[in-house]
Chain A
Amino acid sequence: MTAIIQAENLGRWYGEVVGLGDLTVQIEPGITGLVGPNGAGKSTFMKLMVGELRPARGLLTVLGEVPFGNRELYRQLGFCPQQDALYEHQTGRHFVRDLLRLGGWSRREADRLAVGAMERVGLEDAMDRKVSGYSKGMRQRTRLAQAIAHGPKLVVADEPLTGLDPIARRQTLDLFRGLAEDGCSVIISSHVLHEVESLTQTMVLIHRGRLLAQGSVREVRRLISRHPSRVDVIARDPRRLASALLPLDHIRTIKLGDDPKKLTVETDDISAFHRAFAGVAASAEAGVTGFKSDDASLEAVFDYLIG
């Protein structure tokens, strides 16, 4: 598959502050979550992708093109910036329409597309009001509308879920899924890890301007060998189950907690554990009623990698 983003030794700094250190990464089509703590370099990377900034070093191509000042690329690109800035004197509809007109659309066509985009982000009732009177969530959705209105091949959205209420968040996530189904690639950055995770399994983790990990969350989790995988098991007789599991080679620790029916198992090889567990549990007749492994979540991976 051809990468939509290719960065090689990409660096960008602001005076003495490093925005992005030395980033080499390839992003494939589809939905990709760009995650990392504050100051990791996510926004800088996105600003480089959309040509708002130029790299200080290294090479970056977006859809095969160098982005800075590239007018042809901008026809295929939609950017939803993080900053809460709009042309306050305009209505939401006119804001989206006028930006579409800059892309070469006729007035009528631009208006039709603007209305469509505003409907798609759920602002059809408010689109004829001035944006200065919009709530934070409505402003966020207006920014999103201008990014998707022209049917781009790639949407880059910087923290698009910030400021949205739970319903709007769900709608926005559905919107991204819809865009992906239509063949549009989406790159979103977010701090709300479980929501990004519910949207995509493909992540790019950045920390201190460098690539920390890339790929699906489970693949990345598997690569973090220094942290054993953790599984919580609920059983009628957890002590018997613990003694049956203990001889397995890959088991590192078994903890019996305050809950008399729960035990927590740490294993170095989660796949081997999964294969062996059913047999061991059956032979021990421990009465297993629950089985949960949540340390392969994005949040856990994030913690392990940065921690």
Chain B
Amino acid sequence: MSLITELPRATWLIFRMHLAATAASRRALSGLLFAAVPPLLAFLALTASGSGDSGVNVFMYLGVLVLLQVVAPALGVFLGIGAIADETEARTVTYPFTRPIPRASVFLGRWLASLLVLTTLLLASGAGMAAITLRASDPPSMDAVRGLLSATLIAGVLYSLGAAVIGVIFKRGQVIALGYAFAFEVMLANIPGSAQKLSLQYYLRSLFVGSENADWRSLAVFQKSEFLTTADSAERLLATTVILLVIGCVTVTRKQFVLSS
């Protein structure tokens, strides 16, 4: 069987093999707790305080500062890093790697299984936050909800893929992935100027803020920044995804995984 036909078939089988285990893993359950934070904060902001804050304000503020900037990268790293790293740590990688399948399918199948769990969590988190804020006075527009949720899901794809690639390359990649997501990204994304363009957050924000979106621009964090158009940022994010996929597949194909007995 050729690589072209074998890769999707084996990827699907690996995905099926690991989906249930990934969904029921402690990692996913902890992720559920973290994903519950944005809706919980939205609920507190709108009801418990009695401040009467507007729904759109709460949605945008928590959406950008908590959901997109912390929860999506954190869960992305937390769930994505294990794609190959979990197999090498558990020393089970021997089994799929001594089967007549492309090695890349192990990486892709496992990453897709974690991605499905991740996107479910992020979607639930974002939708929960939207549902709460939509019932408040001055609710966010559906465009804003769609924009932020799309950006959050894309953030999940990119951060989990980046973490999965780091997990393939480095034995203890989690600290690198976390360092990147929380030190490098957060610092660059929040400094006004062109340095922002070195962060994924900039392109993710460009997806929904765009150049002329007045609602989003009312947020202090966006006031001093120039953003790309949605199409331009989507193009760059797609290119980044493809590059990361290629790096992940090539590395896993070529790399030797030394397991202790």
Contact = CB atoms under 8 A, between A and B. Distances in A.
Contacts of B100: 71-72, 74-75, 102-104
A291 interface: no
A50 B260 CA distance: 16
Given A72-B100, A75-B100, A99-B99, A53 B256 contact: yes
Nearest to B103: A69
A85 B94 contact: yes
A50 B14 CA distance: 20
Most B CB contacts (10 A, CB to CB) among A68, A72, A101 go to: A101
Given A83-B261, A85-B90, A99 B95 contact: yes
A50 B93 CA distance: 13
B241 to A, nearest CB: 25
A102 B13 contact: yes
Interface stretch (B17-25, B48-56, B223-231): B17-25
Interface string B87-108: 0001110111111111100000
Interface in A45-75: 50-54, 68-69, 71-72, 74-75
Interface residues of A, number: 31
A43 interface: yes
Contact of B98 (A14, A52, A86, A104): A52
A71 B102 contact: yes
Contact of A83 (B17, B94, B102, B256): B94
B13 A101 contact: yes
A71 B102 CA distance: 7
Contacts, number: 71
Interface in B12-66: 13-14, 17, 20-21, 24
B92 A77 contact: no
A81 interface: yes
A85 B91 contact: yes
B1 A104 contact: yes
Contact of B257 (A52, A103, A158): A52
Contacts of A75: 100
Given A87-B21, A98-B13, A81 B99 contact: no
A98 B17 contact: yes
B258 interface: yes
Contacts of B20: 89
Nearest to A95: B95
B253 interface: yes
Contacts of A90: 17
Contacts of B96: 99, 102
Contact of A102 (B24, B99, B257, B261): B99
A104 B2 CA distance: 12
B228 to A, nearest CB: 40
A53 B259 CA distance: 10
A83 B98 contact: no
Contacts of B94: 50, 52, 79, 81, 83, 85
| Interface range on chain B (Cβ under 8 Å from partner) | 20 to 34
B11 to A, nearest CB: 11
A82 to B, nearest CB: 5
Contacts of A14: 258
Nearest to B258: A14
Contacts of B102: 71
Contacts of B24: 89
Interface in B162-200: none
Contact of B256 (A52, A71, A103, A146): A52
A86 B101 CA distance: 19
B135 to A, nearest CB: 39
A43 to B, nearest CB: 6
B90 A74 contact: no
B103 A83 contact: no
B204 interface: no
A54 B259 contact: no
B95 A52 contact: no
B113 interface: no
Contact of A53 (B6, B13, B253, B258): B258
Contacts of B253: 69
A87 B258 contact: no
B107 to A, nearest CB: 13
A163 B258 CA distance: 23
Contact of A50 (B1, B10, B98, B256): B98
Contacts of B101: 71, 102-103
A53 B90 CA distance: 17
Given A52-B97, A71-B102, A72-B100, A83 B1 contact: no
A83 B92 CA distance: 9
Given A54-B256, A101-B13, A85 B98 contact: no
Interface in A195-224: none
Contacts of A87: 17, 21, 92, 95
Given A43-B261, A87-B17, 9 more contacts: A52-B259, A82-B261, A83-B260, A85-B90, A85-B92, A87-B95, A89-B20, A90-B17, A102-B13
6 contacts: A14-B258, A52-B259, A54-B256, A71-B102, A83-B91, A85-B92
Please give me the 6 A-B residue pairs with the lowest Cβ-Cβ distance, nearest first.
A85-B91, A89-B21, A102-B99, A71-B100, A74-B100, A83-B91
